[in-house]
Structure 1
Amino acid sequence: MILADISNIKQQDKAGSLLSESVALLLEKEEAIDELTRVIEVKSGVISEQKKRILILEEVLRLSKIKRFGSSSEQSHQSSLFDEAENEADSSEELDQEADEAPEGDKQTSSTGTKKKPGRKPFSDKLPREQIFIHLTDEEKEGAIDTFFTKVKEELDIIPAKVRVLEYMQEKAVFVEQIEGEKQRQVKAAQMPRHPIARAMGSISLMCFVIIAKYADGLPLYRQEGILSRYGGDISRATLANWMIALAKQLQPLINLMREHQHTGAVILADETRVQVLKEPGRPATSDKYMWVTLGGPPGEKSILFEYDPSRSGDVPMRLLDGFSGYLQTDGYAGYNAVCQKNSITQLGCWDHARRYFKDAQNAQPKRKKGQNNKPSKAGKALSLINKLYVIEREIKDLSVDEKYQQRQEKSIPVLSQLKAYLEENQHKVPNPSS
């Protein structure tokens, strides 16, 4: 009996030991499962972040390809002016395309509600006109009781350049004077008209032609050299370039007056554009140099001034805007902050620069396949709102300053309020590309 009890006790102890081992094993497995679950969650989070990162990098790659191989809608007139490019793009075409792609509720018509009729634009009434009469023959008029003329069409005519050589014949008078008892001849010459460049072989009219052709029409000097050669005037491009440099010095007082006149206006637009200067002492050709551009002046008397400076420091706007106090519109470059603080200038942003980032975001999106939802993207919605502002500006461009102000108060401010609310709503929904 005692042996049976001992055997039962041993079996119970063994069963208890097995139970303890099973419980310990289950606890270890639960801990291992928890650890694996935690690892899976961490890895899932890493994979999720990597997927987001891959999507962002794919957008960056698409945008990079578009910028490298695609056509740009924002060709800079400033850069083409100085690198002598000839092709310019009209950004209004793309704005019209965006208006077509915008949702139906976002499209706007003109303030009159009517579409402009297509047709030829009449020539300016300020142009001189010469009438050409087309007569009937005597046989065709035979038996008629009266004849009259009617204007049937107008043609724009241009007289090609007329080249000539101006020969200055200076009159000289000879006088005989009695000097110290001897007769001596004295010669007096007529006063020659003043020329901005002494001993130059080009007339003032020719120099004006070269300036306008180069800086207004984007015609490079080497092409002007060929044009003059065809007309029989062989003048090298080096001579033409030296004329431009010399005339710049002569015209500096006029530029100073234009700068002072700009400062009398309420608003100045400023920007700095990279230009390449091949031969500049102490600076390699590959280094960045800048053409500082300002647009301003009283209403109806605005002017554009270009100022070259190899630096992009804040000292340049401090010099160019010295004495100006009003509104300054820039692309947000911090180099203008110092002069704004010193002269109490109010800084304004630029819609073209703000719009550019939304356009890049739209271009970076993958192309939608047929049958997919055509709902506009976040960037597309912002672009459609910005385009409304452009439409308003196109409609009121011919109005007076006061009328423009009233139209902007009535039409632009509601669009700006809608855009502000939309941006605030979606500000935290856009992934940070730096994360």
Structure 2
Amino acid sequence: MRLLQNELFRRSSEKRPVEEDPRQLHLFNEAEVSAEEKPVTEEIEVPAHTRQKPRRKPLPEHLPRVEVIHDIAEEEKICACGTTLSRIGEEVSEKLDIIPARVQVIRTIRPKYACKGCEGVESEGGAVRIAEPPPEMIPKGIATAGTLAYVATAKYADGTPLYRLSKILERYGIEIPRSTMASWMVMAGDRCRLIMEMLQRELKSGVLINCDETPVQVLFEPGRANTTYSYMWVFRGGDPQKPVVLFHYAPTRSGDVPREILEGYQGYLQTDAFSAYDQFDRPGSRIVLIGCMAHVRRNFVKVIDARGKGAKKTGSAEVALEYIRKLYAIEKVARERKLTPDEIRALRKKEAEPILKEFKAWMKGRLPQTPPKGLLGKALSYALNHWHKLIRYLEDGRIPIDNNMAENAIRPFVVGRKNWLFNGHPNGAKAAATLYSLIETAKACGLEPYQYLRYLFERLPFARSEEDHLALLPQMLTPEQLTRSLQ
């Protein structure tokens, strides 16, 4: 019951306070740490110090500025001696002003032309001439590229359900049913099919792919009840500087999904311990499966959470977490020093490998003394059963210690799911996978989602060749290009 309550209500962070007792590092060989033993304390004198006054972060330079001058009255510009005051400077302060979304109607006018001299005569010259309508994402629809980008960003980047967005537009006097907006998203997603194929190829161009999956409820799935869960998969890979975040909807959680997506890929694959990935952990596989230390830590955190707030005991779970904390401390040092992959590998070889060997030996000694079906027994068994995958991150400095990059990539979808709860149709789920892919990849490449989607939707109807489509990938664009396109 305590564990269930913690799963429902506790904070999601797994960070733990570092023990203040410096002797704890020498107690790893003990099965338990005495609960009655109190740390030795020593009074120290803290010297006085000065604290910097916090400074407000300046407003972005790219925002337009509107100058408002507050001047003194003209009669106050005359000194008591009769001399006119001279301006010697000014004081400037900047405040942020937000104007709600500007809604406008774009009227496309196509003049018609005809020859009066050929009137009534059947000839090619007598036909009415008019310019072809410009290509659009949704031909004959009322939604421009900006409208589609706005709706997609609101739902998939900000987690706003379409029925709420419909209410927001009503405040502007615009009545657009959520069913209409849903169909817009499906059509927009379908038009981006070739872009998605290119992103999938780009995903497999790097040396590492992180993968994760989460359930999603989809209605009107053929042959399935509405209460049956489907799954949204996420893959993060490609160039580490401009990565691809690829979402893929599937009605199943079977290993066929990652096998299809990763066909032809050769490199590292980092995941949790879900059995669908075991197919890659075999001799001769072109894919090297990497484990996740965060999942090991999570299991030991559950042991502590199940004790309840009143428990004062310090034992095996804390010892395990201290080992893991030291491993993460090494990774933090590597990040702060901005080490190269070769330097990270050398650092891990020197400092992390001995800790891992000691950690494994401690767990193997502790496992026979622990009930296998208890939380601690499960945590120990999980770590030891997947140990060969957990230590593979030592091989290459480009591999992280955990799969948090995939979990962070899928988090926006999980947050949005809490608001819109389910997808109304499989087509909507596929469109969601496409638009989440575009938005999260744009964010990972440093692009603002709305600006990128608007840029994409304006130019995609004119793309004809593969080069045209390739130029629209987030990896090919810069924030400056998007900003100029909106001016």
RMSD: 3.5
Structure 1 residues 340 and 333, CA gap change in structure 2 (3 angstroms):
same
Deviation at 1:344, TM superposition (A): 1.4
User: Which of 269, 275, 280 in structure 2 is aligned with 1:334?
Assistant: 275
Matched residue, 2:17: 99
Counterpart amino acid of residue 196 in structure 2: I
189-198 or 397-406, larger mean C-alpha shift: 397-406
Corresponding position of 1:380: 318
1:386 deviates by: 2.6
Whether 1:235 and 2:176 are equivalent positions in the alignment is yes
Contact 1:176–1:186 (Cα < 8 Å) also in 2: no
In structure 1, distance between residues paired with 2:321 and 2:177: 49
Change in 2 beyond 3 A, CA 1:252/1:277:
same
Per-residue Cα deviation, 1:91-111 (whole angstroms, up to 9, x for no partner): 3xx52xx1256755789xxxx
Report whether the alignment pairs 1:347 with 2:318: no
**Residue 63 of structure 2, aligned match among 107, 118, 128:** 128
Unaligned runs of 5+ residues in structure 2 are: 26-48, 80-84, 378-487
Aligned to 1:216: 157
Q: Which residue of 1 aligns with 2:104?
A: 164
Q: Match of 1:431?
A: 371
Residue 190 (structure 1) aligned to one of 102, 112, 131: 131
- The match for 1:312 is 253
Residues of 2 paired with 1:431 and 1:425: CA distance? Answer: 13
Q: Quick check: 1:102–1:384 contact (8 Å CA) kept in 2?
A: no
Structure 1 pair 351–117 and aligned structure 2 pair: CA distance change class (3 A): farther
Specify which of 196, 216, 231 is matched with residue 255 of structure 1: 196
Report what 2:344 is aligned to: 405
Distance 1:116 1:298 in 2: 41
**Counterpart in 1 of 2:31?**
none
Alpha-carbon distance between aligned partners in 1 of 2:140 and 2:304, rounded to the nearest angstrom: 59
Contact 1:297/1:303 (<8 A) preserved: yes
Kindly indicate whether the alpha-carbon contact (under 8 Å) linking 2:297 and 2:324 is maintained by their aligned counterparts in 1.
yes
1:111 paired residue number: none
Which consecutive unaligned segments of at least 5 residues does structure 1 have?
A: 1-60, 74-90, 108-113
State the Cα distance separating 1:258 from its structure 2 match. Answer: 0.9
- Match of 1:198, SS? coil
Structure 1 residues 261-270 or 414-423, which shifts more? 414-423
1:320 is displaced (CA, Å) by 0.5
Deviations 1:99-131 (A, max 9, x none): 256755789xxxxxx999783562465533525
Cα distance, 1:257–1:139 mapped onto 2, change above 3 Å: same
State the partner residue of 2:298.
Answer: 356
C-alpha distance in 2 between matches for 1:293 and 1:116: 44
Give the conservation status (yes or no) of the 8 Å contact 2:203–2:246. no
- SS of residue in 1 equivalent to 2:126: strand
Q: Do the aligned partners of residues 365 and 181 (structure 1) sit closer, same or farther apart at CA in structure 2, a change above 3 Å counting?
A: closer
2:137/2:188 contact within 8 Å kept? yes
Q: Secondary structure at the match of 2:209?
A: strand
Specify whether residues 155 and 181 from structure 1 end up closer, same or farther in structure 2 by C-alpha distance, changes over 3 A only: closer
> Which residue of 2 is the match for residue 63 of structure 1?
3
CA displacement, residues 72-97 of structure 1 (integer Å, 9 cap, x when unaligned): 51xxxxxxxxxxxxxxxxx3xx52xx
Residues of 1 paired with 2:24 and 2:86: CA distance? 63
> Which structure is higher in RCO with an 8 Å CA cutoff and minimum separation 6?
2
Map Cα deviations across residues 262-301 of structure 1 (whole Å, 9 max, x no partner): 1111111111211101211111112221111111111211
Closer, same or farther in 2 for the Cα pair 1:421/1:103, shift >3 Å? farther
Question: Against the structure 1 CA distance between its residues 275 and 400, is the aligned structure 2 distance closer, same or farther, given a 3 Å change threshold?
Answer: same
SS at 2:232 equivalent: strand
Deviation of the 1:229 alpha carbon: 1.2
Show CA shifts across 1:330-352 (max 9, x none): 11122123355475111111123
Instruction: Kindly indicate whether the alpha-carbon contact (under 8 Å) linking 1:102 and 1:381 is maintained by their aligned counterparts in 2.
Output: no
Amino acid at match of 2:163: Y
Deviation (angstroms), 1:261: 0.7
Secondary structure of the equivalent of 1:386? helix
Tell me which residue corresponds to 1:29: none
Distance 1:195 1:180, change over 3 A: closer
Q: What is the total number of aligned residue pairs between the two structures?
A: 342
- Distance (whole Å) between structure 1 residues aligned to residue 94 and residue 144 of structure 2: 34
The reply to whether residue 119 of structure 1 matches residue 60 of structure 2 is no
State the 1:383 CA deviation. 2.3
Give structure 1 regions of 4+ aligned residues with deviation exceeding 6 angstroms.
Answer: 114-118
Q: Determine the structure 2 residue equivalent to 1:28.
A: none
Identity of aligned residues (%): 32
What's the secondary structure of 1:299's corresponding residue? Answer: coil
Scaled by the length of structure 2, the TM-score of the pair is 0.62
1:292 aligns with 233
**Which residue identity does 1:127 align to in structure 2?**
H
In the superposition, relative to structure 1, how do residues 399 and 325 fare at CA in structure 2: closer, same or farther (>3 Å)? farther
Post-superposition Cα deviations, 1:165-198, rounded to whole Å, max 9, x if no partner, equal 1222111111357599767731111122111112
Report the CA distance between 1:367 and its aligned residue.
4.5
